[in-house]
Amino acid sequence: MLAKKIEEFLRNNKILHVAAPVGLGFVIFLSLVLPISLRSSTSLLDIGDVAFQDIHAPRTFSYESQILTEEARTEAEKSVQPVYLPADPSITRKQVEKLRVVLNYISAIRSDIFATLGQKIEDLQKISDLKISGDVAETILSLDDARWAAVQEESLYLLEQVMRNSIREDQIANMQRNLSTQISFDFSDSESEIINDIVSQLITANSLYSNDATSASIETARSKVEPVIKKFVAGEIIVSSGEVIDPLDWEALQELGYTEPKNKALDYISAGLITVVILIYNVLYIRRIRQTSGKKIQDLPVIAITFLLFLFTAKLIIPNHTILPYLFPVAAFGLAISSLYDYETGLIFSISLSILAAFNEGSTVDLAFYYFLPTSIGIFVLGRGRRITTFFMAGLAIGLSGAAMVISYRLLNSYLDFTGVSTLIGAAFINGFGSVSLTLIIQFILSQVTGKVTALQLMDLARPDHPLLQELLLNAPGSYQHSLQVSNLAEQAAKMINCDALLTRVGALYHDVGKLKNPQFFIENQPVNQINTHDKVNPVLASKTIVKHVEDGLQLAQQYNLPPQIRAFIREHHATSLTRYQYNMAVKKAGSEDKVDAAAFRYPGPNPASKETALLMMADGCEARVRAESPKNVEEIAQIVDSAIDHYLNRGFLSQTDLTLNDLRLVKQSFVKTLKNTYHQRIKYPENPVENEKTGKSGG
């Protein structure tokens, strides 16, 4: 298989023992710093750009908003009234003096005896400081000297009185409107009109605007405005997708660093540090587990490649999204690895994947826990994943735990948006069921690459209605019963030493399927009263016929598409042992062992390469000997078991397995217990008396 070729290549190249972890770390580092991972949550934005996605606050933060502060200060500035200087007496005197000059000029025109009425009116309308209509000019010229003198006096008095007040530019019109009410009632309407027309035009502002004083007031008002603090809660939308970025939005984005390029050096340093820590963590685990228990993690290169594929996919999908991080099926990796190998391996590598997948995201810690804790729960619920219902329960457990974590995060941050939380809860459940669905696909792919068989495949192979088992049952029932006995024996022992009991049982069920090619040649398929030990057959030919059931079994395994792990049971269950009965017969006929070629009686092997196939070999031998020798008590069963296992041990058939002496002790105990219950002595019941056919009563 591909996995074994990769592992063998790494094992034979000592340099790669160091280069492989370093290379793995470098690839992890690249996955964290490539543009797909380091792309900002938004490209460099500017005012007037359209947001191509929702931009959320990656964390809770606050800042002094220059824009809002300036708006508040502008409002304070608008509330400041203009500042005017006190009334200037010189302006009043100037206007009064101007009125005297105008009145004297009018008097001169009135007293001109040589000018006609039209010329006088024309002269009055040429006065530069006044605009006198033709009607008013005629009225002025028509007054007698006494009334004109009174009009002059009233005009001077009225202008002086009005100009004593503080008059601003914006108050002139109001003063002019109210002027007529201040004219003495001693004057007629026409005379009052003359006074009002002349005086109103000479009213001017005597309280001037002070720019310096007003500016000082404005500065005082602006200085009293406190800076405006803008706050965003983690997860809050700063800019919605499709909105035009205004100055206030841009200010918030600027605070987050989205408006200018990030410092790439800091990203590289942080990615390098987390890569080193994760790599050390996993290397120490692999070394420690090997030192303490002698356990070796199988197919480590394939697991590493799968890990990297998940990591690169996560970094391609997760950044810059709100919902997709909660949908990404990180749990599928842990579920697939734990169900194919063991839960410890799944948990350890899931921790690393969860941390790295969430690295450099807005809520790194929250997201990492969201990935790892539901994954762990799913791993414990799934176990080996022997049934589809177990996968469903694992998906439900992942969804429920993920939803609970989403709610807890929102409650902790005091940010509970019903719509947003509902969406994330839905994403958690989709994540759960999507993860278990993807797990089934990954299991199948990895099983093809590594040669490992999944629990679901094993359960299917263990069904009695499997075509090959049915054929074995019908055509070689003795071998079928033998396989059942051996599978029970090996399975119980596998449980005792914590190896794969299900794989052991299924492998044992198929280990003798090769006997289907010639079932009657094997004693267990022969009638009790017609046992043929093949004593009359040439021992070499008999041995070759017996040994051939291994080759025939492999051919049937290929024909029925049995997985490579099951084929290993067929290939290895006799190791390189001899067909002892035929060999002894050959020695007996030859008279000496030196005259017999032992290779002609030896199975092709190889010796067992795993604990499971070794258990089958020992169980097969023990069951056959116990059945053949029919021990009468437990002590005799124990002696047979001890003798058989010691035989395999002394001849080196177990040298390629990881079985310890303590494992062998437990195996012996398990074999004895199972065989005792299987082959215990039974009570011989007396025969029933013959019944009278007519009366139905027993004969006496």
Residue at a domain's end among 394, 422, 452: 452
Task: Kindly give, in sequence order, each residue whose CB lies less than 8 Å from that of residue 312, ignoring residues fewer than 6 positions away.
Answer: 31, 36
What pLDDT is stored for residue 669 in this prediction?
92
Same domain, 10 and 94: no
Amino acid 141: pLDDT:
86
Asked whether residue 506 is assigned to any structural domain, the reply reads yes
| Residue-level pLDDT at 695 | 47
Same domain? For 294 and 417 the reply is yes
Q: What is the dihedral of CA 39, 45, 51, 53, to 10 degrees?
A: 10
Work out the number of other CB atoms within 10 angstroms of the CB of residue 331.
34
The reported pLDDT for the residue numbered 522 is: 75
Residue 56 parent element (H or E): strand 55-56
What value, to the nearest 5°, has the Cα angle with vertex 168 and ends 162 and 169? 110
Residue 83 in domain:
no
**Torsion angles phi and psi, residue 210, rounded to 5:** -105, 110
504, part of any domain: yes
Per-residue exposure over 143-178, b if at least 16 CB sit within 10 Å of its own CB, e if not? beeeebebbbebbebbbeebbeeebbeeeeeebeee
Query: 422 and 514 share a domain?
Result: no
d(CA 615, CA 498): 12
Residue 662, domain member (yes or no)? no
Go through the chain and tell me how many residues it has.
700
Q: Are residues 576 and 502 in the same domain?
A: yes
* Residue 48 falls inside a structural domain: no
Residue 330 and residue 349 in contact, taking contact as beta carbons nearer than 8 Å: no
Q: Are residues 525 and 433 in the same domain?
A: no
Is residue 511 domain-shared with residue 442, that is, in the same domain? no
Domain assignment of residue 276, yes or no: yes
Domain termination site, one of 202, 230, 253: 202
Residue with tokens 């109103």: 200
Report which of 438, 311, 302 is spatially closest to residue 378, judged by C-alpha positions. Answer: 438
Same domain, 461 and 399: no
Number of domains, the chain? 3
SS3 of 502-530: HHHHHHHHHCCHHHHHCHHHCHHHCCHHH
Q: What is the mean pLDDT of each run of 10 residues along the chain (700 residues)?
A: 53 59 80 63 64 74 87 86 83 89 89 86 85 87 89 89 86 87 88 89 85 85 88 81 81 74 72 88 84 73 89 84 85 90 88 88 80 92 85 92 84 62 86 91 86 84 90 88 91 90 92 86 69 66 85 90 90 86 80 79 87 92 86 88 90 88 91 81 52 44
State how far the Cα of 70 lies from the Cα of 225, in Å rounded to an integer.
Answer: 9
Query: Do 440 and 491 fall within a single domain?
Result: no
Phi, then psi, of 239 in degrees rounded to 5:
-135, 130
Q: Is 643 a domain residue?
A: no
- On whether both 462 and 442 belong to a single domain, the answer is no
The one-letter amino acid code at 511 reads H
357, amino acid identity: A
Tell me: do 537 and 511 sit in the same domain: yes
Identify the domain containing residue 336 by its residue range. Answer: 2-39+263-452
Together in a domain, 408 and 269: yes
Residues 197 and 114 in one domain: yes
Q: Of 183, 202, 221, which one is at a domain's C-terminal end? A: 202
Q: Enter the DSSP assignment of 187.
A: S
Q: How many CB atoms lie within 10 A of CB 617?
A: 27
Element (H, E) at 585: helix 580-590
Q: Which residues, other chains included, contact 484 with Cβ-Cβ below 8 Å and sequence gap of 6+? A: 509
Please list, in sequence order, all residues whose beta carbon lies within 8 angstroms of the beta carbon of residue 572, skipping any fewer than 6 positions away: 605, 606, 607, 608, 609, 613, 616, 617
Residue 591 covered by a domain: yes
